[in-house]
A and B are shown apart, each in its own frame.
Chain A
Amino acid sequence: MPSRQPPTSLPSERFAVDVAVVGGGLVGSAIAWGALEAGATVALLDEGDVAHRASRGNFGQIWVQGKGEGHPPYARLTQRSATLWPEFSARLGVRTGIDVGFSQPGGLTLCLSEEELATRAAIASRLDAEGGSAGMAILDRDAVARMTPLPLGDSVRGASFCPADAHANPLALLRAFHLDIQAQGGAFIPHTSVEAVRAVRGGFAIATSAGEIVAGKVVVAAGLGSAGLAASLGLDMPVRPVRGQVMVTERAAPLGDFLFTGLRQTREGSLMIGGTQEEVGFDDGTANVAMRTMSRRAVASFPDIARLDVVRCWGALRIMTPDGRPIYQQSRRYPGAFAATCHSGVTLAAAHALVVAPSIVAGDLPHELATFSADRFHVQAA
């Protein structure tokens, strides 16, 4: 049962900012933080303790490998974000004192059969043909064995490797955003729901449970809660939940820095094992069959993992667009209203902060971002 919210009050009765961001998850927070960095005044609106929070269930990977097949702009945006991540995370870390745990050991996708290996090789060569795979390479079993911290299971045939893949702690990242937004003079307004947004002279009036906010620009980044608000602003955000289950083990002694598809060790020592792709609507529960499937693959990859205790498990709802790519769009009917959503809130965090946010502040999405308009889902209408 959702609990009631504590009272929230706005800094002033008729609170005015340059940019109001609706949604305090990783996408909205990155954009709000980036807008502050770009010199705007900012309000970030967030919900209460119990909400669909993809950001809280994130696996924590900056994953470049294999992304953007068939859509070079997505591949480029992903690769650019990974390139921006080191400087971006360092800036956040220095300011907040929070270590967001960024490290870039490169990522391995272990293949447990020759078919899996062939599939990975095909993806790499298609990406290279389309303009770049960020160095994705295919490795045989011996090469993989030299790179891994634990003995490999017998069925491991090889892996694809991408040196650009990295990981970070998504919860620390989110917290750092929230703290630094406040430290830089932004308004972080939690436990607040947005009731309506209407266009007024010079911007938008946002009616919230905490009072009215007037903003020059408004960004809808409320994940699965975006659709209604977006529609009222002439924006289309056709998103659906795709569940990803994740299991976390007890803390283990550090195994060295490594990163696999569906397996990483956090700074704290826990192993994260994930993640499924399930079309189950808004059910964010977990199920034994998926846990067994994930466990079997983890044990087949590294038999020593079998002895670890699983202490937590969750289902997080990814925010999926029809083609799996992000949506960035400015409303034609209400210029100044923007939509931003994706299922890669960690991977694209640096791009959201340092590429998307400044464009929103400037009031114009450049072509490289405009190609992510939701118009692509309605070719006739466009």
Chain B
Amino acid sequence: MFKRLERGGPTVRFRFEDEEIEAVEGESVAAALLAAGIDTFRTSPLGPARAPYCMIGMCFDCLVSIDGVENRRACQVAVAPGLSVRRQSGARRVG
């Protein structure tokens, strides 16, 4: 869906579902996923598929699971080496 303006710069590798994604240091997880062509981030507890809308932490539509913690705003978290990111499926689980 998105492409990077510039090449180069230090990169970071992390996992999304079962694939490895290469991101640029300093990017948000949401940006890295959008640059990798991921266009659906979650299904809402009410069913429909959603993806980032506002990119500034307001809309809560970019929710993903990061390192086992569900419902995290992908636009508010910076990529880091080795992160394990998964789609958020419906409401988060407790316990």
Contact = CB atoms under 8 A, between A and B. Distances in A.
Interface residues of B, number: 9
A268 B90 CA distance: 12
Given A251-B45, A269-B45, A150 B94 contact: yes
A174 to B, nearest CB: 22
A218 B68 CA distance: 58
A248 to B, nearest CB: 13
A250 interface: yes
Nearest to A249: B94
A287 B69 CA distance: 28
A253 B43 CA distance: 13
Given A269-B45, A307-B69, A255 B91 contact: no
Nearest to B92: A252
Contacts of A283: none
Contacts of A149: 95
Contacts of A150: 94-95
B71 A253 contact: no
Contact of B93 (A253, A268, A309): A253
Contacts of B92: 250-253, 308
B50 to A, nearest CB: 14
Contact of B91 (A151, A269, A304, A305): A269
Interface string A137-162: 00000000000011100000000000
B5 to A, nearest CB: 34
B69 A253 contact: no
Among A149, A151, A269, which residue has the most Cβ atoms of chain B within 10 A? A269
A308 B93 CA distance: 9
A151 B45 contact: no
Contacts of B91: 250-253, 269
A304 B71 contact: no
Contacts of A151: 95
Contacts of B94: 150, 252-253, 255, 271, 304-305, 307-308
A271 B92 CA distance: 12
Nearest to A311: B60
B88 to A, nearest CB: 11
A304 B95 contact: yes
B68 to A, nearest CB: 10
Interface in A60-96: none
Interface in B63-95: 69, 71, 90-95
Interface in A248-291: 250-253, 255, 268-269, 271
A250 B71 contact: yes
Contacts of A268: 45
A360 B45 CA distance: 44
Contacts of B69: 307
28 contacts: A149-B95, A150-B95, A151-B95, A250-B71, A250-B92, A251-B91, A251-B92, A252-B92, A252-B93, A252-B94, A253-B90, A253-B91, A253-B92, A253-B94, A255-B94, A255-B95, A268-B45, A269-B45, A269-B91, A271-B94, A304-B94, A304-B95, A305-B94, A307-B69, A307-B94, A308-B92, A308-B94, A309-B71
Given A251-B92, A253-B93, A304-B94, 16 more contacts: A150-B94, A150-B95, A250-B71, A250-B92, A251-B91, A252-B92, A252-B93, A252-B94, A253-B91, A253-B92, A255-B94, A268-B45, A269-B91, A271-B94, A305-B94, A308-B92
Interface of A: 149-151, 250-253, 255, 268-269, 271, 304-305, 307-309
Interface of B: 45, 69, 71, 90-95
For the complex of A and B, list the 6 residue pairs with the smallest distance between their C-beta atoms, beginning with the closest: A304-B95, A251-B91, A269-B91, A253-B93, A251-B45, A253-B91
